[in-house]
Structure formats: C-alpha cells, structure tokens
Amino acid sequence: MLEAQDLHYSYTPGQPTLRGISLTVRAGTVLYLLGRNGCGKTTLMNCLSGVLKPQRGTIRLYGRDLHSYTPAERARQIGLIPQLHTPAFNYSVREMVLMGRAPHLGLFAAPSRADYEIAEAALESVGLADYRECPYTQLSGGERQLVLIARGLAQQCRILLMDEPDAHLDLNNQQRVMERVMRLAASGLAFIITSHVPNNALHYADRVLLMKRGMALACGAPAEVLNEQLLSAAYELPIEVIRDGELLRAILPRRTPEC
C-alpha cells in the first residue's frame, strides 16, 4: 500500500532529521515507530502523510508517487491523527469528528445524513457517543485524544498514521484504543503508530521500526527488533527484556545501582 525508499529530510541545511529511512506498509498490518524524542518519528509521519516532501528519496502509494495525488485524493487514502492539540474555535465533539468527512465532500457541500451516521459510529466505537454535544476544549487530555482517533476513523481511509495515540491515556483507554486498532487492522486497514511505550509495540505491532538520530537501527518483527542490545542502543540506557521462555513479556529500563 505504502512504500518509502531512502528518505532524507532536513529543517536546517546540514542538520538532517531523517537519514536514509526505508519502509513498506501492507494492508492489515500495524507498524510501530520507536525511538527517543527527536529521533525523527514525527517528521517521518509528516512525510508519509504528504504534509512534508522529503528532499531525497521516494514515497509511493499503491505504486504511484505520493505527491502526484491531489491533497483530497491523499486524504481519502491516508489519515493523520496528530498528537493532542487545542483548536482555534470551541467546536463540539461531534463537529470535530465530522471534520474527518471533509475529503469525501464537495467544495461547498454540507455533511449528509450518511456523514453524520459515520461520525456517530466513530464516536460510539471510542466510547464517547454521550459527549457528542460537549465542547471539545472542555474535555480531559485523554478524552480529546479519543476524539481525534474517532475523527480519523470517520475519514474512512485505508492507512491511518497515529502520532502517539497512547499519550495522555490511562491503561483502560490505551487498551480500548489498541483493541480497536487491532480489529480495524483485521478488516484490512494499515496503521503506522509512533509511541514512547515499547510494551505496546511488543503486544500490538506486526512490525517495528527502531530509530536513532534520524536513521533506522532495525526494522522487523517485534521478536527480532525488541531485544536488549537494539533497545539499549536506541534509548541510550540499559534495557531489560522480560521473557517467559521464548515469549517476550515486558520491556523495562534497567535500574542503576545508585537507584
């Protein structure tokens, strides 16, 4: 569905943020991007969504150059769920979710009854149907994150890019969101997810891209990539992987003696 080859991107000349990143995303798979703050995860997501254009390398969507699509065509195929944000206006929760229908509407068209039904179904799926008339800005951080996820679901694209969807969520909501992701992946959607929770990648990812300073340290199945050597190199601190025989159970930073 989506293929990137040898991506390079710099905000400042001579200071590359991405250096030679390549990846492939297939239908029905969940790819996690892991690494420290500043390693290039969000920049990579913005390139894959078409928000940024890499200075070198290619991105192909269904075999066609990503930037040969119009913005509306891209938005019908790829959705980007950003990190938590505050809108300029005090939209209701339902209005925020309805914005996901924009790529499917004409220039001056208003949402139809079918669009409202799709938005309602998306809100129901994240457990916020009773909040539809509430002002978005009055929700908690975790509830806002769920609204953004519902907006991405209402967009009905084939690839969803989720920038730290587990941030600001308690364990219950993390589980609810990720179980929903797994059900959608089983129906054929593809997901690319950035996260600072390696344990979620361990339990939910089909593949993991481990990044450090704009480069890929490793890319592959969680059992191959999420080992102590690679994780310690990526996060620049000792990492311990808890195992039950051959089964990986948890990833933890190793405590230093002075702690």
pLDDT 10s digits, 126-179: 889 999 999 998 888 778 888 888 888 898 889 999 999 888 788 887 888 888
SS3 115: helix
**Number of folded domains in the chain?**
1
Is residue 120 situated within a structural domain? yes
Domain that holds residue 148: 2-253
Considering just the CA atoms, what is the radius of gyration of the chain in Å? Answer: 19
Is residue 58 situated within a structural domain? yes
Is residue 258 situated within a structural domain? no
Is residue 29 situated within a structural domain? yes
Please report, for the domain that includes residue 99, its CATH number. 3.40.50.300
Rounded Cα distance, 90 and 235, in Å: 39
The structure's pTM equals 0.88
Q: How many helices (H) and strands (E) does the chain have?
A: 9, 12
pLDDT 10s digits, 214-239: 999 999 999 999 999 999 999 999 99
Is residue 51 situated within a structural domain? yes
Is residue 259 situated within a structural domain? no
Is residue 246 situated within a structural domain? yes
Q: Which two tokens stand for residue 56?
A: 């070198």
